[in-house]
Every structure is written in structure tokens, then in C-alpha cells.
């Protein structure tokens, strides 16, 4: 993370004695990235964080990936998917993935188990609904339009709130996820040209302490999954400080960058991971040159696949394609893509786009997960020509 936070009870100096009311020592845990050379936080536990009393295999949901072959653009209808598991972790269905990132979708009404992703950071976008994300650092209250960034190996669980089902779009990295470096000073402060800043980020504000024994934690890791049983409740942290912690950022707090002519997708970037970026398209004033064409030009991103998740509004460039709310468009590298026929002409003179979408661009090809195969409309590739293959 880009700035320091202090929550709960900590000693004046790090790596010094911090005692419980009964005189015993709290257990100090360093949670750090890249060995000891990047962001970290120090947590103070009532119990011993290494303690486990049992471990058994967790059979992960179907992680099978199938190549996008023959190579075609695809339209995936996430709202057509059915969900047997009704929680935001066990209920995830894999839509797309490669070695760097996996994109899953879930519709939930029940709390998740305690969970820890030991493979990489997670960025979970909340399409609809609300929840409390309980973590070892404290709790976050989150809702529609929130990105929730959860650092690797953070023990947490999702607790849906309210009557509306919680719809979550999970972007799981094999690396860390952070704001783009071009938005930050060399010391990590957001710069003046950044479309968001520290004031827009919400982190835990107080410890979350719970009681319990023999608690199960579902751990996702390279090679599969494991259920650890810990002797005491994992939410036993009385205080912590540092620059590594979960936080939330709402898409409505992103300030769009616009210009007289069409701006390229990097102006919409919100986060970055290894070999992928996350961008968002929000309601905004569009190009104001007198001869501007507001919708995107046709483009071949030869080094990347583009995944667009349409969550609100009316996306001008995709009119007539069948794409609507809850849709994903997959435009693979090696195939040019752009507006549907008539969309460019139809956009002339338009001054405002009322659209909200989350985009992931990957620098290695994406394969289709079981949910991607199940939700493919089978027709999108032919939407520019108006006809498909003949018998």
C-alpha cells in the first residue's frame, strides 16, 4: 500500500516487548512482501500465529482452463450462470485465466469460510449487494462499486449483508496488486495527476477480535488447497501498523481523465499486477473536439487480451452486439476490435457517456474456465459482419 496506518495497541518501538494484561507477551508477526525489501506490517497476536492442530486437502472448485481456439472474440453472459454454492469463496466459478491472473464470478447469500489466498493478491469488485469483509487486520464495510484489495495470505471471510444477493467479480493474481507506479511519487505518495488519492481509500480502523477454538481456514496455494485447523480464533490481533493491509476503493471516486480527442485506455487504469492491468470506465464527459469520434477506434493490442465487464449504464461502442449488464467481452490479442457497425457514426455529437465497466488487460493469452465456456453466447464473433459460418 502507499501509506502508513496504525490500528489498535502497539508498543512504541518495533520488535520490543508488548505485554498482555496478564503479563505475557503478545506474539509479533511481520507480514511482508518480497522478502524484507518491500511493504510490510507488524501484527500483535494474542496467540501464536503458526499454530495448527490439523491439515487436510481442500478440493478446489473446477480450475480447468481451455484454450480460446479457434481464436475468436467472445461474449460471456455471467448473469446466466447458476450457482450451487452460495458463498463468495467456495461459490466462485472460474471464467478466464492464465498463469498470471484468474477471473471468477460468484453470487452469494451466505458467509464464506475463513479463507487465505497464498498464491497472490486478490482484487474483488462488488457488482451488486453489500458485505462486511472480516480480516485479521480489522473489518471493511463494502458495497456496490467497491474494489476490495486483499493482500496475499491475509486471513479473511466475507459476510453478505442485506436482502440483495452479493455479486462479486474476483480478480486473483499470482503477484501483488497495487496502484500504477506512474501515479505515485518515488516515496509512494499519490501525485497530482492521479485520478484518485489516499483520501479515497478505506482501510480497517480498529482491531477485530473474536473467540473460538479449532477454527478452519481454507488456504488456496500453488498445487491446490488445504484446510488448516487452528487451535484459537485467527482474529486475535490487538494492534498493527505498517503499509500492507486490505483496503477498499469505490469506482465512483475515480476521476476520469478526458480530452478533446479520444483518450487511450491507460488513462482509465486503476491497478496493476504482474503481466496485467485493471482499468475502469466511468460516467464522463467525452471528446470535445468539433470533429471528434467519441467511441474507440479499431485497435489491435497485439501484446494483450482485453476483458471488459459491463456493470452499469449503456456502453456506446457495443450497441447492437447483444452485450448488456453482466456481460463480459473477450477481445484476444491477434484480432483487431472496436465499435459495432454504426456505433462510430451514432456517437457523433454525444457529449457524455453513462457507462461503468471494469477492464482487465493481460499480457499473456487468456484461456476459458468452465464458467466462461458455460456462458459463451456463441454469436458475438460474427456481430461485425452480420453473418457467421455457413453449413
Catalytic sites, residue numbers:
262
79 is in an annotated binding site: no
Q: State the Cα–Cα distance between residues 88 and 159, nearest whole angstrom.
A: 9
CB 161 within 8 Å of CB 130: yes
Do residues 235 and 51 lie in contact, with contact meaning Cβ atoms separated by under 8 Å? no
User: Which DSSP helix (H) or strand (E) runs through 319?
Assistant: none
Q: Which residues contact 262 (CB under 8 A, 6 or more apart)?
A: 287, 292, 293, 294, 295, 296, 297
CA atoms of 273 and 288, how far apart (whole Å) = 33
CB-based burial label for 73 (10 Å; 0-12, 13-18, 19+): buried
What is the spatial distance between Cα 77 and Cα 376, in angstroms, rounded to a whole number?
Answer: 6
135: exposed, middle or buried (Cβ count in 10 Å: 0-12, 13-18, 19+): buried
Q: Compute the distance between CA of residue 190 and CA of residue 258 in angstroms, rounded to an integer.
A: 19
105 is in an annotated binding site: no
Q: How far apart are CA 76 and CA 316, in angstroms?
A: 18
Confirm whether residue 125 is marked as ligand binding.
no
How many alpha carbons fall within 13 Å on the CB side of residue 118? 12
Residue 115 assigned ligand-binding role? no
In terms of Cα–Cα distance, which of 111, 167, 166, 184 is closest to 309?
A: 167
Edge-to-edge, what's the strand order for the sheet holding 40-45? 5-8, 237-242, 40-45, 27-32
Give the DSSP letter string of 329-363: EEE-TTS-B-PPTTHHHHHTT--EE-EEEEEEEES
- 211: cell is 473467540
Detail the residues annotated as belonging to a binding site for homogentisate. Answer: 315
Detail the residues annotated as belonging to a binding site for Fe cation. Answer: 299, 306, 337
Amino acid at each position: 500500500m502507499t501509506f502508513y496506518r496504525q490500528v489498535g495497541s502497539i508498543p512504541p518501538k518495533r520488535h520490543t516487548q508488548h505485554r498482555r494484561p496478564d503479563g505475557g507477551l503478545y506474539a509479533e508477526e511481520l507480514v511482508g512482501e518480497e522478502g524484507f525489501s518491500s511493504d510490510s506490517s507488524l501484527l500483535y497476536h494474542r496467540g501464536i500465529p503458526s499454530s495448527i492442530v490439523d491439515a487436510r486437502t481442500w478440493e478446489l472448485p473446477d480450475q480447468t482452463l481451455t484454450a480460446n481456439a479457434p481464436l475468436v472474440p467472445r461474449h460471456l453472459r455471467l448473469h446466466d450462470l447458476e450457482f450451487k454454492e452460495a458463498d463468495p469463496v467456495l461459490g466462485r466459478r472460474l471464467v478466464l485465466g492464465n498463469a498470471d491472473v484468474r477471473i471468477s464470478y460468484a453470487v452469494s447469500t451466505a458467509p464464506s469460510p475463513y479463507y487465505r489466498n497464498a498464491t497472490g493478491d486478490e482484487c474483488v469488485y462488488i457488482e451488486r449487494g453489500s458485505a462486511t469483509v472480516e480480516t485479521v487486520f480489522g473489518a471493511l464495510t463494502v458495497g456496490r462499486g467497491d474494489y476490495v484489495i486483499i493482500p496475499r495470505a491475509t486471513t479473511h471471510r466475507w459476510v453478505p449483508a442485506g436482502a440483495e444477493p452479493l455479486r462479486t467479480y474476483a480478480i486473483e493474481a499470482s503477484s501483488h496488486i497495487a496502484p500504477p507506479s506512474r501515479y505515485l511519487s518515488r516515496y509512494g505518495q499519490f501525485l497530482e495527476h492521479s485520478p484518485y488519492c489516499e483520501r479515497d481509500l478505506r482501510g480497517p480502523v480498529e482491531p477485530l477480535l473474536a473467540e473460538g477454538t479449532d477454527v478452519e481456514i481454507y488456504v488456496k496455494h500453488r498445487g491446490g488447497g488445504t484446510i488448516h485447523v487452528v487451535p484459537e480464533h485467527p482474529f486475535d490481533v490487538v494492534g498493527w501498523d505498517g503499509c500492507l493491509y486490505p483496503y477498499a476503493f469505490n469506482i465512483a471516486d475515480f476521476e476520469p481523465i478526458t480530452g478533446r480527442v479520444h483518450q487511450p485506455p491507460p488513462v482509465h487504469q486503476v491497478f496493476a499486477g504482474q503481466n496485467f492491468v485493471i482499468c475502469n470506465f466511468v460516467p464522463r464527459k467525452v471528446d470535445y473536439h468539433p470533429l471528434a469520434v467519441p467511441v474507440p477506434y479499431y485497435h489491435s493490442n497485439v501484446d494483450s487480451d482485453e476483458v471488459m465487464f459491463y456493470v452499469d449504464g449503456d456502453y456506446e461502442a457495443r450497441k447492437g452486439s447483444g452485450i448488456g449488464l453482466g456481460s463480459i467481452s473477450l477481445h484476444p490479442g491477434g484480432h483487431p476490435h472496436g465499435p459495432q457497425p454504426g456505433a462510430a457514426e451514432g456517437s457523433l455529437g454525444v457529449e457524455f457517456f453513462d457507462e461503468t465497466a471494469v477492464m482487465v488487460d493481460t499480457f499473456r493469452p487468456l484461456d476459458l474456465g468452465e464458467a466462461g465456456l458455460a456462458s459463451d453466447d456463441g454469436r458475438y464473433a460474427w456481430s461485425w459482419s452480420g453473418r457467421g459460418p455457413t453449413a
